[in-house]
Amino acid sequence: MVIVMKKEAGEGLVSKVLAKVESLGLTAHLSRGKIRTIVGVVGDNSAVEPDSFACLDGVERVVPLLGPFKLASRDFKKENTVFSIDGSQIGDKKIIVMAGPCAVEDKNQVIEAALAVKKAGAVALRGGAFKPRTSPYSFQGLGEEGLKLLAMARDMAGLAVVTEVTTPEQVPLVAQYADVLQVGARNMQNFGLLHAVGESHKPVLLKRGLSSTLEEFLNAAEYILSHNNPRVILCERGIRTFETYTRNTLDINAIPALKLLSHLPVIVDPSHGTGKRELVSAVSKAAIAAGADGLMIEVHPNPENARSDGAQSLRPEEFEQLMKELRPVAEAVGRTL
């Protein structure tokens, strides 16, 4: 942490800052300039709030240095985290594709989707049984009935199941049926939920919040990791910006940035990241080229009748075509698919 004093801050105020640094068991290094004084704070200050100093008189600003996340950081663990999802390794050379409908709607829809995405090369089926929706009047998902349909489709198609969990109480139930627990973007800082999935010891797919910085994203992962659940997948799914042509702005920079900052696997959701079916293919290729470890893509056998997200869902034949086109891109960056 670096504490920058105001120009007019005199000796007395600097001394108070130094006293506080010491009271926290840290060490201060002073740089006195003609114009102002800078205090470098050294020691393990990851649990100290920059704000504790920002409020002292005479302090102009405090610059935090260590992101508070530790377990999630590349500093903590140099090699990539690789783990298995129902037999497929994520974080390794092979790119993992998860696909399926936004929401589980009925038996035929799930089975049809599952068989189609399996055939095209996906290793996991996505589909929501509990849906967080902006309006209380929108379709909220089939609940446990939806989980059962997912489990059935898994057995028929030989796919892992990834599905969303929206409250701490749901975790044990969803964990019975799912191979991967998904925490949605709106819940990225629902800390009660992060604790609950951390304790479940199931792999967790954590989506980046709509307006979360990379640092906040990694801190959210840290909540899960700190419960001794090391199997976290980071998912970039677009952030909220001023642009309205697309539903979100997919932050392609986040892929190499997260790979630099963290050892965790990183996947991309181009369906939510664009919100438009006609952009999904190009952005999927971009994600692979940028180094993503996987993709999560919405596929619906009949998007015209989808109960949610139809406009961004691929038809099975479009998904199959996309998978074909992704293979050479994966190979071009030394990966397989």
Q: Of 85-93, 144-152, 199-207, 269-277, which segment contacts its own copies by CB under 8 A?
A: 269-277
Q: Judged by CB, which is closer to its own copies: 84, or 167?
A: 167
Single residue of 121, 152, 290, 321 touching its own copies by CB under 8 A: 290
Q: Considering the complex, what minimum distance in angstroms separates the CB of residue 107 from its own copies?
A: 21
Q: Is the dihedral of CA 95, 101, 102, 108 positive or negative?
A: negative
Site string for its own copies, 46-65 (x = CB under 8 A): xx-x-xx-xxxx--x--x-x
Cβ at position 169, least distance to its own copies in Å: 7
Which residues ranging from 209 to 268 are in contact with its own copies (CB under 8 A)?
210-211, 213-216, 219, 222-223, 226, 239-246, 249-253, 255-257, 259-260
Quick one: angle between helices 214-225 and 254-261, nearest 10?
50
Between residues 159 and 222, which has the closer beta carbon with respect to its own copies? 222
Report the nearest approach of its own copies to the CB of residue 219 (Å): 5
Q: Which of 273, 292, 107 is nearest to 127 (CA)?
A: 107
Candidates 31-39, 91-99, 110-118, 149-157 — which segment interacts with its own copies by CB under 8 A? 31-39
Q: How far is the CB of 286 from its own copies (least distance, A)?
A: 4
Q: Does 311 bind its own copies (CB under 8 A)?
A: yes
For 133, 164, 167, 214, 308, the CA distances from 125, given in Å and listed in that order, are: 21, 12, 21, 27, 17
The Cα-based distances of 29 to 22, 95, 96 in angstroms read 11, 47, 48
Q: Is the distance from CB of 168 to CB of 192 less than 8 angstroms?
A: yes
As beta bridge partners, residue 161 has 125
Taking the least distance from each CB to its own copies, the nearer of 85 and 254 is 254
Binding mask 150-189 for its own copies (x = CB under 8 A): ----------------xxxx----------------xx-x
Tell whether the torsion through CA atoms of 223, 146, 114 and 110 is positive or negative: negative
Q: Is 79 in the site for its own copies (CB under 8 A)?
A: no
Q: Looking at residues 1 to 20 of the shown chain, list those that interact with its own copies (rule: CB under 8 A).
A: 2, 4, 7, 16, 20
Q: Which of 122, 285, 297, 337 binds its own copies (CB under 8 A)?
A: 285
Would you say 162 and 205 are in contact if contact means Cβ atoms under 8 Å apart? yes
The backbone torsions φ and ψ at residue 196, rounded to the nearest 5 degrees and listed phi first, read: -65, -45
- Least Å from the CB of residue 28 to its own copies: 8
Rounded to whole angstroms, how far apart are CA atoms 64 and 47? 11
Contact 261, 297 (CB under 8 A): no
What is the nearest approach in angstroms of its own copies to the Cβ of residue 130?
9
As measured in angstroms, the least distance from the Cβ of 160 to its own copies is 25
By C-beta, is 160 or 218 nearer to its own copies?
218
CA distances from residue 243 to 3, 103, 198, 250 in whole angstroms, order as listed: 36, 26, 35, 11
Check: CB of residue 62 under 8 Å from CB of residue 54.
yes
Distance CA 250, CA 213 (A): 13
Q: Residue 135's CB: how many other CB atoms inside 10 A? A: 7
Size of the site for its own copies (CB under 8 A): 115
